[in-house]
Amino acid sequence: MKIIAIETSCDETAIALVEASGGLKSPKFKILKDFVASQIKIHQPFGGVVPNIAKREHLRNLPILIGKILGISNFQFLISNKIPNSKFQILNTIDLVAVTVGPGLEPALWAGVNFAKQIYAEIRGNNKRRKPQKIGLQGVSHLDGHLYSLLLQQKNIDYKKLFPAISLIVSGGHTMIVLMKDLKTIKKIGETRDDAVGEAFDKVARLLDLPYPGGPEIEKLAKNGNPDAIKFPRPMLDQQNFDFSYSGLKTSVLYYLRDHKLAEGKMENGEWEKQKADVAASFQKAAFDVLIKKTLKAAEKYKAKTIMISGGVAANKSLKKAFIAELRGLKRGTTRKEALQLIVTKFPTDNAVMIAAAAYINHLRKKKYKLVANGNLNIK
Ligand code: KG4
Ligand code: ZN
């Protein structure tokens, strides 16, 4: 099945063309085209994503990206938004148009939903050889996208050895633990009660005068710092649930900087850089300690065979290293026959390939979402 997927939930405009096969027993994906137009530079001066600017940029980028998918650089096409007949061969082979309907910024989501409807209408209208009802249009949850991104480009997935799995989704908007009994049976077992972990990285980065998005900046800076220099709190670490809280940790960083009079211009430059690195490293460790401990606790409780990590924060190499170190320690002290395997997504930050993967799985399990932008869509 050939899927064209569109993602516009936040500040990345993305379109991908993916060939999916294998069914629910062993799904496989071949990525034919994958384009992401990032708006990071445009939102950077504001220190975060501005919804209406995101929408405007999506509307500008979408025709350009579909032009790239089809190999058109025709300016006329961009003005009229009409696809030339000669370029329809690729679209004629598409079985499913998939688009993110939520969660995310609603003005941004609408840009994608309306564009997907337009593309779908054009494909159906121009398809002379196939019955129009054979072509589908499907709304996709962005969270399903992150969750199923684990199935993409992972070599040698042995589906028999994968489940039950504990899946940790960590992004700018979400922090949650999902129990996957199999590809179809998923249940959220915990989530953040306030800020998402990626959001905490972005906010702490701002306190340290680092640009948006803060995650990669903090990760880089933390490499030069001492993670044990400052004892930041580990909120909810020992509670008997799988929930998180990150707003208190961010506030602790704020108070620490204030109480120690740490700021650019208030101290020698070299000293500020050193302090910044220690704050970044100590914050990162505190944030990850809670993620790791709660995920492992969930894996233990549900006798998981696999831990999966997805979402933008999964791009952080120190997170993967810390998980591996913890799993090694666990292996030594356990009587389990099989080691708990760790899979980190190869598609952490927002993209459309993961939306195609989720569309395929949801199509097979007959899970449908309304074709309406829903900023608060939850995982089911
Ligand atoms: O999944 P994503 O692209 O968008 C959402 O669905 O939110 O995640 C973006 C988030 C941002 O908060 C960003 O700071 C964070 O992921 N992020 C990172 C890293 N790369 C991106 N956080 C920590 N370390 C990174 N290397
Ligand atoms: Zn995301």
- Over residues 237-267, the pLDDT tens digits come to 999 999 999 999 999 999 999 988 777 777 7
CATH number for the domain that contains residue 322: 3.30.420.40
Which ligand has an atom closest to residue 12 CA?
1
Same domain, residue pair 196 and 340: yes
Q: In the prediction, which pLDDT does 112 show? A: 98
Weakest mean pLDDT among 61-70, 178-187, 287-296: 61-70
Same domain, residue pair 125 and 163: no
Same domain, residue pair 6 and 80: yes
Residue 33's identity, in one-letter code, is K
Residue 71 has pLDDT above 90, yes or no: no
The string of pLDDT tens digits covering residues 268-277 is 778 888 999 9
- Ligand 1, closest atom to CA 311? 1
Q: What is the DSSP string of 44-63?
A: GGGTS--HHHHHHHHHHHHH
Higher pLDDT, 77 or 363: 363
The tokens describing 293, both together, are: 């401990």
Average pLDDT over residues 20-48: 94
For 25, list phi and psi in degrees, rounded to 5: -70, -45
Starting at the earlier edge strand, list the strands of the sheet with 306-310.
Answer: 186-191, 175-180, 165-170, 306-310, 341-344
Q: Which residues contact 238 (CB under 8 A, 6 or more apart)?
A: none
- Ligand 1, closest atom to CA 104? 6
Q: Which residues contact 153 (CB under 8 A, 6 or more apart)?
A: 29, 31, 346, 347
Q: In the prediction, which pLDDT does 124 show? A: 85
In a domain, 125, yes or no: yes
Weakest mean pLDDT among 10-14, 85-89, 295-299, 307-311: 85-89
Provide long-range contacts, Cβ within 8 A and 24+ apart, for 173-178. Answer: 173/10, 173/103, 173/104, 173/198, 173/199, 174/103, 174/143, 174/146, 174/311, 175/244, 175/246, 175/291, 176/143, 176/379, 177/242, 177/294, 177/295, 177/298, 178/147, 178/379
- Report the percentage of the chain scoring pLDDT > 90: 77
Average pLDDT over residues 183-208: 97
- Ligand 1, closest atom to CA 198? 12
Same domain, residue pair 86 and 132: yes
Q: In the prediction, which pLDDT does 18 show? A: 97
Q: In the prediction, which pLDDT does 317 show? A: 98
Residue 215: CB within 6 Å of ligand 1? yes
Reported as a pLDDT band with limits 50, 70 and 90, residue 231 is very high
Same domain, residue pair 299 and 186: yes
Residue 79 has pLDDT above 80, yes or no: no
- Structural domain for 69, as ranges: 2-147+349-365
**CA-CA distances (angstroms) from residue 367 to 135, 174, 185, 379?**
17, 21, 11, 12
In a domain, 376, yes or no: no
- Nearest-Å Rg of the Cα atoms of the chain is 22
- In this structure, which residue's CA is closest to atom 2 in ligand 1? 312
**CA-CA distances (angstroms) from residue 163 to 167, 299, 348?**
11, 11, 21
For residue 149, the number of C-alpha atoms closer than 13 Å in the C-beta half-sphere is 30
In a domain, 374, yes or no: no
Average pLDDT over residues 222-242: 96
- DSSP code at position 84: P
Q: In the prediction, which pLDDT does 103 show? A: 98
Q: In the prediction, which pLDDT does 330 show? A: 75
Same domain, residue pair 30 and 72: yes
Reported as a pLDDT band with limits 50, 70 and 90, residue 125 is confident
Residue 24 has pLDDT above 70, yes or no: yes
- In this structure, which residue's CA is closest to atom 7 in ligand 1? 172
In a domain, 380, yes or no: no
For 244, list phi and psi in degrees, rounded to 5: -130, 165
357 sits in the region (left: phi over 0; alpha: psi -120 to 50; else beta) called alpha
Tell me the pTM.
0.94
Residue 280: CB within 6 Å of ligand 1? no
Residue 154 exposed, middle or buried by CB count within 10 Å (0-12, 13-18, 19+): middle
Same domain, residue pair 240 and 274: yes
Enumerate the β-bridge partners of residue 34: 16
In a domain, 216, yes or no: yes
Cα 330 from Cα 35, distance rounded (Å): 40
Number of domains forming the structure of the chain: 2
Question: Of the residues 170, 171, 176, which should be mutated to test ligand 1's pocket, given the most ligand atoms within 8 Å of the CB?
Answer: 171
- Ligand 1, closest atom to CA 213? 14
Same domain, residue pair 163 and 309: yes
Question: Of the residues 349, 351, 354, 379, which should be mutated to test ligand 1's pocket, given the most ligand atoms within 8 Å of the CB?
Answer: 349
Whole-number Å distance, alpha carbon 105 to ligand 1 midpoint, is 16
Residue 213: CB within 6 Å of ligand 1? yes
In a domain, 379, yes or no: no
Higher pLDDT, 88 or 129: 88
Residue 219: CB within 6 Å of ligand 1? yes
Residue 337 has pLDDT above 60, yes or no: no
- Contact between 8 and 36 (Cβ < 8 Å): no
In a domain, 100, yes or no: yes
Reported as a pLDDT band with limits 50, 70 and 90, residue 230 is very high
Q: What is the DSSP string of 123-150?
A: HHHH-SSS-GGGSEEEEEEHHHHHHHGG
Residue 127 has pLDDT above 80, yes or no: no
Same domain, residue pair 340 and 355: no
Question: Of the residues 100, 218, 313, 320, which should be mutated to test ligand 1's pocket, given the most ligand atoms within 8 Å of the CB?
Answer: 313
Residue 379 has pLDDT above 90, yes or no: no
Residue 10: CB within 6 Å of ligand 1? yes
Residue 154 has pLDDT above 80, yes or no: no
Reported as a pLDDT band with limits 50, 70 and 90, residue 129 is low
Whole-number Å distance, alpha carbon 254 to ligand 2 midpoint, is 26
- Contact between 83 and 71 (Cβ < 8 Å): no
Q: In the prediction, which pLDDT does 123 show? A: 86
In a domain, 375, yes or no: no
